[in-house]
Amino acid sequence: MFVLEEDKLDVLAAKIRKCGEYAKERQKDIHRSFKADGSVLTETDLEVSTIIENTITTLFPECTFVSEEFPIIRRENAPYIFVLDPIDGTDVYSQGLGSFAVSLGILDEHLNPVGAIISCPRFGLATDELFIRLDPGKELLVNGEAFSLQGDKDEIKQILIGSNHIHHIDFTSFKGKARSFGSSIIHLFAPALISQVQGAILPPVFVWDIAASHAILKHLGMDIEYCDGSEFVYTDEFVYEKKKFKMDIYAGSKTGREKMRKFLPIKLNRTTAVAL
């Protein structure tokens, strides 16, 4: 059985944290450009991708590497797949805001999310930064300390949503609060790590937008599911063909997800449009 060696993961974690600090230092001088699909791109995205790709291919040459910005490096019978978003929340990052992340998710050979390393150098929980590490099969560490779930996650009082997603959700029956930070990774780990947040709703996004945070959710007994209640499954199309998943998702506890489907339904025209 292949094992990701702890000393090598230490090197990788240190590199990702350093990349987070580098992104923070570069932020005030950043220049934004746009991809063909209209999404924002900065020079930091490309630089961080290069650094992490080189690190992973050196440390773990047996493993597959998937990045938002570069072609996939796919290994036959890879025991793990590393999934990188060099700057999650590029738009807010390019505007000088602090809610961005350098995010690395780890999938096992069956495409299950099992690990994460996330650096949020300007988005801390009562601290200046947030650094999250979940080695496969190990305890969850937040800023170097073991972390356990806190707060009641079944009563949906506060959720995270995408900045444009508000137009696709029916808030008629919801009496709680909705917030947006501009980063899918932060939105998705919020129900697990922020005691007063119980859920998150995301539109269809790419594997690098969810893999790391999904591993954290699952580790703490939470999960994501499609807005119609069906199981969310990682597919070859989603991971290797870099295609978005098929419809909106809810993230939280089992009871919390049921309540979001009831009190925060996706508008019918949105669900139909995504399914088509």
114-131, pLDDT tens digit by residue? 999 999 999 998 888 999
> Based on the domain organization, do 257 and 171 belong to the same domain?
yes
In CATH, what number is assigned to the domain containing residue 218?
3.40.190.80
Question: Mean pLDDT across the stretch 143-153?
Answer: 95
Asked whether residue 253 carries a pLDDT value surpassing 80, the answer given is yes
Tell me what the pLDDT averaged over the chain comes to: 92
In a domain, 152, yes or no: no
* Same domain as 170, residue 123: no
What percent of the chain shows pLDDT beyond 90? 80
Token pair of 12, please?
């990788």
What average pLDDT does range 42-48 have in this prediction?
86
Q: Using one digit for the tens of pLDDT, what is the confidence trace for 71-94?
A: 999 999 999 999 999 999 988 998
Distance of CA 50 to the CA centre of its chain: 19
The answer to whether the beta carbons of residues 220 and 273 sit under 8 Å apart is no
Q: What's this model's pTM, rounded to 2 decimal places?
A: 0.93
Domain count, the chain: 2
Question: Both 136 and 173 in a single domain?
Answer: no
Residues 162, 119 share a domain: no
Range of the domain at 117: 6-146
**Residue 275 confidence (pLDDT):** 38
Are 239 and 127 part of one and the same domain?
no
Give residue 132's pLDDT. Answer: 98
Q: What CA–CA distance (Å, rounded) separates 42 from 142?
A: 28
For 223-230, what is the mean pLDDT?
97
Statement to judge: residues 135 and 207 lie in one domain: no
